[in-house]
Amino acid sequence: MENNDDFRVKRIKKMLLEMAKGNFFYTLEPSDRNDNIASLVVMLNMVSEEIRAAFIHQGFANAHTTPQCIIQLSLILDDRGQIELVTNGTCSLLSYLPKDLIGKPITEFMTEKSRERWTKKLSKYLKRERSETVLFLEFLTNEGLVLAKDCQLSVYQALDGSGQKILLNTVFFSKGEPFETGLPKKTLKVTKGTKEHKVTLTPKDIQIIRGVHDAIINNLDKDLPSLKELAHQEGTNEYKLKYGFKQVYGTTIFRFLIQERLRMARTLILHSTHTIKQIVQMTGFKSKTHFSRAFKDKYGRSPSELRS
């Protein structure tokens, strides 16, 4: 039945409906097939991932008006992995009622891959009295969509002497009112003070800002012209470029440039035989001291430490 086209299209529609509600955390199970529906599934999963990233970024970068819902997936399991407690959020995410979940093994709601990983890893963690780890798990909802996320697992000893328990936890972000039932009561509003400049950006402005972003990435070794010059070159003004960039990408042009240069430098330090002096030049830094300090700030280790 799962290979039937009707069934596959139905799944895609379910996924689209979730996206329309602002839930970008579901994915569709990919298949090995190479046909148009498989292709659509691949695209849809990638689109959803891109929106998810943009959407969380926006939420934290300039969320003056965007309400954010955090939905927590939380379960308590016994040492055999049987579900003892679920939160409402968990039920909504998985589209099951609590009674469908409680008493069942958690593996029943996972993809096969995750089931294997779970079984393999868990026995190791249960050997210790207490342990904590992060495990990438894929859950299957009642509607056949996949929920994939890094989950925090904490193994602890129950105080009543009933043995080991497992707390499984992760969060998802959503916009607006994602579920008909079990709605999270608190919405999180992120504000970054009142001083922030807000510019109104037209689609053309955003296009220009994206162009600047791409030009920076593709010219990391070159000097960046002054903001004023850059704005003139691109047909906008300094104010719009400066604050518009911050609004769209959540960071200033200068910080973004440094961050991208450091990423390139890190790759070169790890995988090339160039000397650090050469790398400093190749990545457009003016002084080795400045480079080393910025590098250590970002990656916690100095360039030479990373090399050795």
Partner 1 sequence: MKRTHENNYAVYLLTHELMHVIYKKVPLIDLKAAQLIVQDRMYLQEGKEMPVLCDIRDVRTINKAARDYLAREGSLWIKALAFLIDPPVTDDLSIFYMDTNPSKIPTASFVSKSEALAFLAKHTS
Residue ranges in contact with partner 1 by CB under 8 A: 30-36, 38-39, 42-43, 45-46, 49-50, 53, 113, 214, 217-218, 260, 263-264, 266-268, 270-274
Q: How far is the CB of 6 from partner 1 (least distance, A)?
A: 19
Partners of 166 in the β-ladder = 77, 155
User: The tokens of 256 are what?
Assistant: 């973004």
- For residues 22 and 176, is the Cβ–Cβ distance under 8 A? yes
Minimum CB distance to partner 1 smaller for 132 or for 214: 214
Q: How far is the CB of 216 from partner 1 (least distance, A)?
A: 12
How far from 202 is each of 198, 236, 240, 304, CA to CA, in Å? Answer: 13, 12, 11, 45
Helices (H) and strands (E) in the chain, counts: 12, 6
Select from 118, 165, 133, 148 the least CA-distant residue to 30. Answer: 148
How far from 28 is each of 25, 95, 118, 184, CA to CA, in Å? Answer: 10, 15, 20, 24
Q: How far is the CB of 219 from partner 1 (least distance, A)?
A: 8
CA distance 307 to 280: 14
Minimum CB distance to partner 1 smaller for 273 or for 287: 273
CA distance 176 to 190: 14
User: The tokens of 83 are what?
Assistant: 């579900």
Q: How far is the CB of 38 from partner 1 (least distance, A)?
A: 5
CA distance 181 to 179: 5
Minimum CB distance to partner 1 smaller for 54 or for 97: 54
CA distance 272 to 306: 12
